Amino acid sequence: MVFATMAVLGMTTPASAHDVLMSTDPVQNASLETGPAKITLTFNAPVQGGDINQIAVTGPNGTQWAEGNVDITGNVITAPVRPLGPAGTYTVGYRILSADGHPVEGEYTFTLTKAGTGTPATASAASGSTGTTATTGSGGGGVPVWVWIVGAVVLLAIGLTLALRMGKERG
């Protein structure tokens, strides 16, 4: 019985591989004269749809420059960016729902070398970047894999407990 339990738990490990960021546009540490119209992040596996998917672009003054909903197409997630303002370092932060149901987050920077004429997003516009527009291949709408794994482990633990108690009662 213990061997069977270990075997079942051992089989769950492949499902725990999180999505990995493969490429970005603009690229990490890029020096740009003009700001990008959008941020594009490409992962190694499809991104699930959901309200957890976010891209934020924070300027040198701590202001927000991403505006609008993120768009998911398979393993690519994009977000529109307002025309940038002051020259300096911009940080792109992201949080996505991985194909295995776990959130993945990270950040990278790029530098705007020439000041633009843009103004930062208002609080209401910046908050819109937390929504999603799921499109082809988004994988959204289903129950995350981790829920099924936790349920299986709980059921297995209950079954093991009952089996051990029934064995003690006979002896």
Whether 135 maps to a domain, the answer reads yes
Side-chain-facing half-sphere of 72: CA atoms under 13 Å = 30
Whether 164 maps to a domain, the answer reads no
Whether 3 maps to a domain, the answer reads no
CATH number of the domain that residue 75 is part of: 2.60.40.1220
Number of domains in the chain: 1
Omega before residue 26 within 30° of 0, cis: yes
Whether 105 maps to a domain, the answer reads yes
Whether 95 maps to a domain, the answer reads yes
Whether 157 maps to a domain, the answer reads no
Q: Which domain holds residue 135?
A: 19-142
Residue pLDDT tens, the chain, 171 long: 555 555 555 554 444 578 899 999 999 999 999 999 999 999 999 999 888 899 999 999 999 999 989 999 999 999 999 999 999 999 999 999 998 888 999 999 999 999 999 999 876 555 444 444 443 333 444 556 677 788 888 888 898 888 888 877 665
The two most distant CA atoms of the chain are separated, in Å, by 82
Whether 5 maps to a domain, the answer reads no
How big is the chain, counted in residues? Answer: 171
